[in-house]
Amino acid sequence: MGALISSQAGAKPALDTLLATSLLTPDHRERLRPYFREIVYLPGIGKELPDDVLRRVDVVYGLLPPSVDRPELVPRLKLVQLTSAGADRALENPLWKSIGKEGGEVVLTTAAGVHVGPIPQWFIATTLSLYHKLHEQILITHVEKRWPSGDEFGGPMFVQELRGKTVGVLGYGHIGREAARLAKAFGADVLAANSDGKRKRQEGYIVPGTGDVDGSIPSAYYSTTSASSFASFLAKSDVVFLSLPSTPSTRYIMNEKTIAKMKPSAILVNIGRGDLVDTSALVRALDTGIIAGAALDVTDPEPLPPNHTLYGRKNVIITPHLSGRTVKYFDLAVDILVENLDRIKAGKELVNRVDLKRGY
């Protein structure tokens, strides 16, 4: 258990100044006002932040600009609460390497859980679209303005059902667990793969009514660090859903060798990070029928350049990294900040804390 941000029992926590570089509405500021004597709102990390603000800031909501790269620039800083579910962009700042090496007390937390509504729904929507060929039907009726027959989609009876399929969830965090819950509701069997192949309770900030708190939905767990276990997971899955962060151990986890373990009828769905998938290997797999299709909200490179070979394929759905853009996004991010501020006051461990050595 890491160091806590705490205050003396019964005393008001020593949090004077909040610096917000991400969106704060007037309603958000009213929610946060009881926790701070001062709220400094400077949206956008491209701005140079005044030295006097940096010297007195206790909590940052959002990203720090790259110029704030040394702990001595922010001597009172206790917490950086990101509005993103991942920490990879934040960890590019040398500040965190210094804090990690020196054993500093500054805590970095993410907004993991903020996407638990929209992204699993995107997963279901795109999977069903590929199974029903909805995107093809919509394109014909919208662009060509005609009434196609079922024969144009592989025969009069061409629809695949999610019911009875096996959905393999690679990365069983907030998003993966909610995707599993929805897939099971559609009648699919669910498998899960994580680093050790063991069932775990859900941690971090949990939106009520979502996910799989006790990890009981998957019928089996598999290990990504065991080649044979991971191969079995891929071979059994009709849909492989990637919801992993980008780390040295996950980059290109889906490559020529691992994609080849999938069923020829399987589809690959990626909402994690583009570099989880070797794009060249994916293209070859689609070209040669090693797998049947893909749905991608993230790509490598990102954005895909114009006329990239992945564009325009009937068996590939691409969206421009917008699957998580819920209108509730920043309300949920502030919910997580408030949860952590309450935990500071109570002297409890914070939710969604980033392990600086592991990178997530």
pLDDT given for residue 6 in this prediction:
35
Question: In whole numbers, what is the pLDDT of the chain averaged over residues?
Answer: 93
Give the 3-state secondary structure of residue 60.
Answer: strand
CB 201 within 8 A of CB 130: no
CB 202 within 8 A of CB 211: yes
CB 351 within 8 A of CB 109: yes
* HSE-up of residue 99 (Cα within 13 Å, Cβ side): 28
CB 67 within 8 A of CB 48: yes
Of 6-15, 121-130, 294-303, the range with the lowest mean pLDDT is 6-15
Instruction: Read off the pLDDT of residues 19-77 as tens digits, 9 standing for 90 and up.
Output: 999 999 999 999 999 999 999 999 986 667 899 999 999 999 999 988 999 999 999 99
Residue with tokens 């309450």: 342
Query: Is the CA virtual torsion 336, 339, 341, 343 positive or negative?
Result: negative
d(C-alpha 193, C-alpha 233), whole Å? 7
Domains defined along the chain, listed by start: 15-114+327-346 (3.40.50.720), 117-318 (3.40.50.720)
Produce one character per residue of 123-151: b if its CB has 16 or more CB atoms within 10 Å, e if not.
Answer: bbbbbebbbbbebbbeebeeeeeeeeeee
State the catalytic residues: 321
What residues form DSSP beta bridges with 239?
Answer: 167, 267
Instruction: Read off the pLDDT of residues 112-160 as tens digits, 9 standing for 90 and up.
Output: 999 999 999 999 999 999 999 999 999 999 999 999 999 999 989 999 9
Instruction: Read off the pLDDT of residues 281-293 as tens digits, 9 standing for 90 and up.
Output: 999 999 999 999 9
Bond preceding residue 305 cis, omega within 30 of 0: no
pLDDT given for residue 85 in this prediction:
87
Q: How confident is the model at residue 5 (pLDDT cuts 50, 70, 90)?
A: very low
Paired tokens of 5: 């941000």
